[in-house]
């Protein structure tokens, strides 16, 4: 959600139609109708909570039922009003995926992309737990996160950093652990944005020159890519027990995300067996009864339901539609049971903290004067929920650093006495600690970049700038630190340095790249002409180390410069930024991050660009996923294109080896190509999740220092699968910490889904005939051992 776009959207709502869009599909891909909306049953382990939700629903009046599914102004980003008569205190829904944004005294965690770069299940899980604790402490029932859409189809996607990786397997694992972490703290997670929200440009309708509505872009995704890439991590989310799923602004096959019956009723609620509720993105509800029948369960931020001061397709429209026979009350009951089952399951009715009044004060969307319901703001204000979370933030910030280049053992630093620090990312923030900003600004020249902008940002209570941390560390060594933070000066004039650049022991160049909701990036280069800074420093300093804080892919034209001895991609590390990077630079922490995406040589090497239509007609924003399955490394591998740093790559200060590769069948009995028709549980057909193969290898630390690495397992399908199948796909990884000389065996369990492709004819996951090739290595292109096995 985004405040300003919500305002823009409200304007279009007033002028746009009130029925579901039905384009003449023409030659465009389109979503088939799937009705009626399947009612939840409390499947999985939600039975008892479902019964409590059911009994709650039976006590509600029709008006209260409408309130339960319609947002209203209140203290939080999204609010469901209290029903004091039933002891229900309402629901407080808050942004976002890396922090409770609308809050003070809260932590700002590393972004999703940083978490993914760690490839560390435990750290990702702990990040979820601690985020959950902070949301709970502030009285928020629902976290608007984690993010699996965008997945990262386009390297230029403006919100890619909020999510994890363009690899669905890695993203799926990160979704699972984040959701389980958040929900273990008693807080609901919301997997978003479902689905095909792969670019920001024209994500919502706009008004054309003749006042006609220009529809949002349509992600036109073929069935295989839909299953094998984009919906894969959402299936993992449902399997992990996610409370809610947020439908997206964009269209998918011509039909808007929040009224697409195929993706909501068909895939999410039938194929994946989702038992929770579908919540609209902010302002993404574009109809009432049609959206409800297509599977939407909650309209956010809704409206002022019964005073009509703000229109809402839900609210009183639901009451009227039930009364006039257009909408069945049983579907409304189903919506509420879906909303309340996770609430009871997580015991949110028992002593849950009330909303911190300071969150209400920070609410720009809903000033208190607009509230129509009474929310309890009698709790303690300005609660400090940060606890000792800075320790994990610092650790994960280090674990997210990918060491891309390290020649002449430039790193770790060995007590350098003369240090130069360059670049506008090194210093402290200069334009406030908050990047939400109604004007979508935030791309300030001076100051480090610990997070991106928009609803996925966090309000920093402090930040450790790299320069501060370097100074503190250097002081211990009695070292001299000089710095030029002005990029223009650093790229033209180093004459003020003494000792001069040529005599510095190390030159640390800090670069940044801004990314925010509502805008895609227009370039893959670092911002503020950072490349020129590197060029000038490296021309004068033979030990130049480049560090980037970025929301994703950057091209690195200086990578082959002989004086650029080390390059580190540090992503968006959150509030402990400086400490996280200093721990790596000085070797207190051995780098173990691996790229969760590919760094190519040139921007033009990437496929799947952002669609940007000039002078569009109403239906011209057609985002055709013509590359199908071939995104990121799948594309580069398939086309045999060389890249600078491949997916899964990352260096260490020690060396590792992989020995042995064994595969064992672990399925009970003979496998059939298609899964047996078993009753669907949350996540899908349970046999898809049964382990069928166990792959083992052994990893050893052959170097001189302690460190962690990530053995990776890739699958190659036999030639019997349809064409266009990627050459290699990630199907297992494990972070392993080893002392020098130490070895550890690593096991990867492959499920039926892992070794199947989506058969569009059968509409099932199919294990292909023929040999499956399994490869283990340290990246997608650093394969150490390979073997072939038949599963059938
Ligand atoms: C569909 O494509 C064919 C050519 O492939 C064209 O002749 C036809 O007019 C198109 N139909 C529509 C509705 O765009
Ligand atoms: C998308 O595909 C449709 C149908 O093939 C085609 O008519 C349209 O021109 C394509 N749009 C873009 C932007 O490529
Ligand atoms: C979208 O359209 C494509 C092409 O017609 C089709 O293969 C796919 O199944 C559709 N997906 C959904 C979710 O409607
Ligand atoms: C578009 O709508 C605005 C506001 O209603 C109006 O002032 C303007 O004349 C309209 N423009 C056209 C081209 O119809
Ligand atoms: C029904 O929805 C429409 C569209 O948002 C809105 O204009 C109208 O005020 C709503 N009616 C009620 C009674 O809420
Ligand atoms: C019933 O109410 C809904 C919601 O206000 C409205 O959209 C629909 O047109 C009404 N139908 C009839 C038959 O009155
Ligand atoms: C909170 O305080 C207000 C004002 O003092 C009071 O009216 C209200 O009853 C209190 N309790 C709750 C639950 O809001
Ligand atoms: C940055 O450096 C350039 C070139 O030396 C200079 O013109 C500019 O004023 C400096 N900017 C600031 C904010 O000092
Ligand atoms: C740094 O190198 C450039 C050549 O790339 C040169 O023009 C410049 O004078 C050098 N600066 C210093 C201070 O040595
Ligand atoms: C799309 O085009 C507009 C207008 O030409 C431009 O301002 C914008 O930067 C472009 N967006 C991207 C992501 O390239
Ligand atoms: C590397 O730095 C040294 C200064 O220490 C400089 O003399 C040399 O020209 C630089 N090399 C390149 C390729 O710029
Ligand atoms: C990158 O692009 C430039 C020109 O755009 C070209 O000269 C260069 O060869 C390309 N490099 C690679 C490795 O493709």
User: Is the predicted pLDDT of residue 663 greater than 90, yes or no?
Assistant: yes
What is the rounded distance in angstroms from the CA atom of residue 81 to the CA atom of residue 305? Answer: 10
User: Is the predicted pLDDT of residue 25 greater than 80, yes or no?
Assistant: no
What is the rounded distance in angstroms from the CA atom of residue 85 to the CA atom of residue 482? Answer: 65
For the chain, residues classed under CATH 3.40.50.1700 are 389-597
Residue to mutate (ligand 8; options 445, 447, 488; most atoms within 8 A of CB): 488
For the chain, residues classed under CATH 3.20.20.300 are 6-366
Q: Whose CA is nearest to atom 10 of ligand 1?
A: 27
- Would you state the pLDDT for residue 737? 98
- Would you state the pLDDT for residue 189? 99
The single residue listed with the structure tokens 């709790």 is 379
Question: What architecture does CATH give domain 654-790?
Answer: Sandwich (2.60)
Q: Whose CA is nearest to atom 3 of ligand 1?
A: 27
Assess whether the C-beta atom of 201 lies below 6 angstroms from ligand 11: no
What is the rounded distance in angstroms from the CA atom of residue 281 to the CA atom of residue 1? Answer: 6
Q: Judge whether 621 and 200 are in contact, CB under 8 Å.
A: no
- Cα(28) to centroid of ligand 1, in Å? 10
What lies within 8 Å, CB to CB, of 73 at 6+ separation is: 79, 301, 304, 365, 366, 370, 371, 372
17 C-beta neighbours (distance < 10 Å), count: 9
Residue to mutate (ligand 11; options 420, 535, 536, 542; most atoms within 8 A of CB): 542
Mean pLDDT value of segment 230-253: 98
User: 6-366: what fold?
Assistant: TIM Barrel (3.20.20)
Ligand nearest to the Cα of 529, by number = 8
Q: From 33, 66, 30, 54, select the one nearest 293 (Cα to Cα).
A: 33
User: Is the predicted pLDDT of residue 439 greater than 60, yes or no?
Assistant: no
User: Is the predicted pLDDT of residue 135 greater than 80, yes or no?
Assistant: yes
**Mean pLDDT of all residues belonging to the chain:** 94
User: Is the predicted pLDDT of residue 441 greater than 50, yes or no?
Assistant: yes
User: Is the predicted pLDDT of residue 22 greater than 80, yes or no?
Assistant: no
What tens digit of pLDDT does each residue of 322-372 get? 999 999 999 999 999 999 999 999 999 999 999 999 999 999 888 888 898
Ligand nearest to the Cα of 315, by number = 5
Question: Residue 440: pLDDT band by 50, 70, 90 thresholds?
Answer: low
- Would you state the pLDDT for residue 303? 80
Question: Residue 422: pLDDT band by 50, 70, 90 thresholds?
Answer: very high
Residues designated as active site: 281
557 C-beta neighbours (distance < 10 Å), count: 15
Packing angle, helices 577-585 and 389-399, rounded to 10: 50
Question: Residue 8: pLDDT band by 50, 70, 90 thresholds?
Answer: very low
Task: Please state, for a pLDDT cut of 90, what percent of the chain lies above it.
Answer: 92
Tell me if the bond preceding 517 is cis, omega within 30° of 0. Answer: no
Assess whether the C-beta atom of 105 lies below 6 angstroms from ligand 12: no
User: Is the predicted pLDDT of residue 13 greater than 80, yes or no?
Assistant: no
User: Is the predicted pLDDT of residue 305 greater than 50, yes or no?
Assistant: no
User: Is the predicted pLDDT of residue 12 greater than 60, yes or no?
Assistant: no
Ligand nearest to the Cα of 14, by number = 5
Q: Tell me if the domain spanning 389-597 has CATH number 2.40.420.20.
A: no
Task: Please state, for a pLDDT cut of 70, what percent of the chain lies above it.
Answer: 95
Q: From 95, 193, 80, 190, select the one nearest 138 (Cα to Cα).
A: 95
Mean pLDDT value of segment 88-100: 98
- Would you state the pLDDT for residue 3? 37
- pTM of the shown model: 0.96
Residue with more model confidence, 227 or 2: 227
Mean pLDDT value of segment 630-655: 98
For the chain, residues classed under CATH 2.60.40.10 are 654-790
DSSP assignment letter at 447? S
């Amino acid at each position: 959600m985004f405040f300003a776009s919500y305002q823009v959207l409200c304007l279009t709502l007033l002028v746009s139609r009130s029925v579901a869009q039905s384009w003449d599909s023409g030659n465009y891909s389109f979503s088939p109708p799937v009705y009626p909306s399947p009612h939840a049953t409390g499947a999985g382990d939600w039975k008892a909570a479902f019964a409590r939700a059911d009994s709650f629903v039976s006590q509600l009046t029709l008006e209260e039922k409408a309130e339960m599914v319609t947002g209203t102004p209140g203290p939080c980003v999204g609010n469901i009003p209290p029903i004091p008569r039933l002891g229900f205190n309402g629901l407080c829904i808050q942004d976002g995926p890396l922090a409770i944004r609308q809050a003070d005294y809260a932590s700002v965690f590393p972004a999703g992309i940083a978490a993914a770069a760690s490839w560390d299940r435990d750290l990702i899980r702990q990040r979820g737990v601690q985020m959950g604790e902070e949301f709970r402490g502030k009285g928020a029932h629902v976290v608007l996160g984690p993010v699996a859409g965008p997945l990262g189809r386009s390297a230029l996607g403006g919100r890619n950093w909020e999510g994890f990786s363009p690899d669905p397997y890695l993203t799926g694992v990160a979704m699972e652990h984040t959701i389980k972490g958040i929900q273990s703290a008693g807080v609901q997670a919301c997997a978003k944005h479902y689905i095909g929200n792969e670019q920001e440009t024209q994500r919502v309708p706009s008004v054309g020159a003749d006042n006609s509505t220009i529809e949002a872009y349509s992600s036109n995704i073929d069935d295989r890519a839909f299953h094998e890439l984009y919906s894969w991590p959402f299936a993992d989310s449902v399997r992990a027990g996610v409370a809610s799923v947020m439908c997206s602004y964009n269209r998918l096959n011509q039909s808007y995300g929040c009224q697409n019956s195929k993706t909501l009723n068909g895939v999410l609620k039938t194929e994946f067996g989702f038992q929770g509720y579908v919540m609209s993105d902010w302002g993404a509800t574009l109809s009432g009864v049609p959206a409800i029948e297509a599977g939407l369960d909650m309209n956010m931020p809704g409206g002022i339901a019964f005073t009509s001061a703000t229109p809402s397709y839900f609210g009183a429209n639901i009451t009227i539609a039930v009364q006039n026979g257009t909408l069945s009350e049983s579907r409304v009951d189903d919506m509420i049971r879906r909303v309340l089952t996770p609430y009871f399951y997580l015991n949110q009715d028992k002593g849950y903290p009330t909303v911190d009044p300071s969150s209400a004060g920070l609410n720009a969307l809903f000033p208190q004067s607009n509230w129509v319901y009474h929310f309890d703001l009698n709790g303690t204000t300005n609660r400090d929920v940060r606890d000792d979370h800075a320790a994990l933030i610092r650790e994960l910030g280090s674990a997210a650093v990918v060491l891309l280049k390290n020649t002449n053992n430039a790193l770790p630093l060995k007590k350098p006495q003369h240090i130069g620090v360059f670049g506008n990312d090194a210093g402290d923030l200069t334009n406030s600690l908050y990047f939400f900003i109604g004007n979508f600004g935030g791309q300030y020249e001076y100051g480090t970049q610990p997070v991106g902008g928009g609803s996925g940002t966090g309000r920093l209570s402090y930040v450790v700038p790299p320069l501060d941390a370097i100074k503190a560390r250097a002081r211990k060594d009695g070292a001299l630190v000089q710095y030029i933070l002005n990029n223009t000066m650093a790229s033209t004039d180093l004459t003020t340095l003494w000792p001069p650049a040529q005599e510095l022991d190390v030159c640390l160049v800090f670069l940044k790249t801004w990314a925010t909701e509502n805008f895609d990036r227009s370039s893959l280069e670092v911002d503020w002409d950072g490349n020129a800074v590197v060029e000038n420093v490296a021309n004068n300093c033979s030990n130049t180390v480049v560090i980037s804080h970025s929301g994703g892919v950057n091209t690195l034209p200086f990578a082959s410069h002989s004086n650029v001895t080390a390059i580190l991609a540090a992503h968006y590390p959150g509030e402990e930024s400086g400490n996280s990077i200093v721990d790596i630079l000085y070797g207190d922490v051995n780098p173990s991050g691996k790229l969760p995406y590919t760094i190519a040589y040139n921007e033009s090497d990437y496929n799947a660009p952002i669609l940007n239509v000039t002078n569009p007609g109403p239906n011209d924003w057609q985002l055709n996923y013509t590359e199908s399955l071939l995104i990121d490394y799948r594309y580069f591998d398939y086309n045999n294109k060389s890249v600078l740093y491949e997916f899964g790559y990352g260096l260490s200060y020690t060396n590792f080896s992989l020995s042995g590769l064994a595969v064992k069948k672990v399925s009970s009995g003979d496998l059939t190509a298609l899964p047996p028709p078993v009753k669907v549980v949350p996540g899908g057909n349970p046999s898809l999740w049964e382990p069928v193969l166990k792959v083992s290898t052994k990893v050893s630390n052959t170097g001189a220092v302690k460190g962690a690495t990530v053995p990776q397992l890739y699958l190659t399908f036999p030639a019997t699968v349809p064409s266009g199948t990627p050459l290699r796909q990630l199907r297992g990884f494990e972070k392993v910490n080893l002392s020098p000389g130490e070895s550890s065996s690593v096991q990867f369990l492959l499920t039926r889904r892992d070794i199947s492709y989506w058969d569009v004819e059968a509409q099932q996951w199919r294990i292909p005939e023929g040999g499956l090739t399994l490869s283990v290595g340290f990246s997608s292109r650093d394969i150490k051992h390979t073997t072939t096995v038949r599963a059938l």
